[in-house]
Amino acid sequence: MPDAALRDEVRDWISRTGRADILVGVPSYNNARTIGHVVRAVQAGLAKYFPDLKAVLVNSDGGSTDGTTLKVNEAVIPDLSPLLVSHKARALLTAAFPYHGMPGKGSAFRTIFEIARELDIKACAVVDSDLRSITPEWIELLLKPVLDGGFDYVAPLYRRHKYDGTITNSIVYPLTRALYGKRVRQPIGGDFGFSGGLASFFLTKDVWETDVARYGIDIWMTTTALANGFKVCQSFLGAKIHDPKDPSADLTTMLMQVVGSAFDLMDTYDHVWKKRAGSEPVPTFGFHYAVGVEPVQVNIERMLDKYRLGVAELAGVWEKVLPAETISFLKGTTGLDAARFHLPDEVWARTVYSFAIASHKRVMGRGDLLGSFTPLYLGKTASFVLETGESGPEEVEEKIERLCHVFEREKTFLVNGWD
pLDDT single digits (tens) 305-338: 999 999 999 999 999 999 999 999 999 999 999 9
Over residues 158-168, the pLDDT tens digits come to 988 888 889 99
pLDDT of 85 above 50? no
pLDDT at 254 over 60: yes
Express as a percent the part of the chain with pLDDT over 70.
92
Check residue 292 and give its pLDDT: 72
> Could you give the CA distance from residue 62 to residue 96 in angstroms, rounded to a whole number?
11
Question: With 60 as the cut, is the pLDDT of residue 57 above it?
Answer: yes
Tell me which of 322 and 254 has the higher pLDDT. 322
- Residue 199 confidence (pLDDT): 97
Tens digit of pLDDT for each residue in 97-150? 777 776 778 888 999 999 999 999 999 999 999 888 999 999 999 999 999 999
Kindly report the pTM of this predicted structure: 0.92
Q: Is the pLDDT of residue 247 over 80?
A: no
Summarised one tens digit per residue, pLDDT across range 200-238 is 999 999 998 888 877 889 999 999 999 999 999 999 999
Q: What's the pLDDT band for 83 if we cut at 50, 70, 90?
A: very low
List, for residues 334-376, the tens digit of each pLDDT value.
999 998 999 999 999 999 999 999 999 999 999 999 999 999 9
State the pLDDT confidence band at 38, using cuts at 50, 70 and 90: very high
Residue 88 pLDDT = 53
State residue 253's pLDDT score. 78
pLDDT in tens, 275-295: 999 999 999 999 988 777 777
pLDDT value at position 78? 64
Average pLDDT over residues 236-241: 90
- What are the pLDDT digits (tens) for 6-37? 678 888 999 999 999 999 999 988 889 999 99
Least confident of 141-145, 171-175, 392-396: 392-396
Cα 368 to the center of its chain, rounded Å: 24
pLDDT at res. 86: 45
Whether the per-residue pLDDT at 84 is higher than 90: the answer is: no
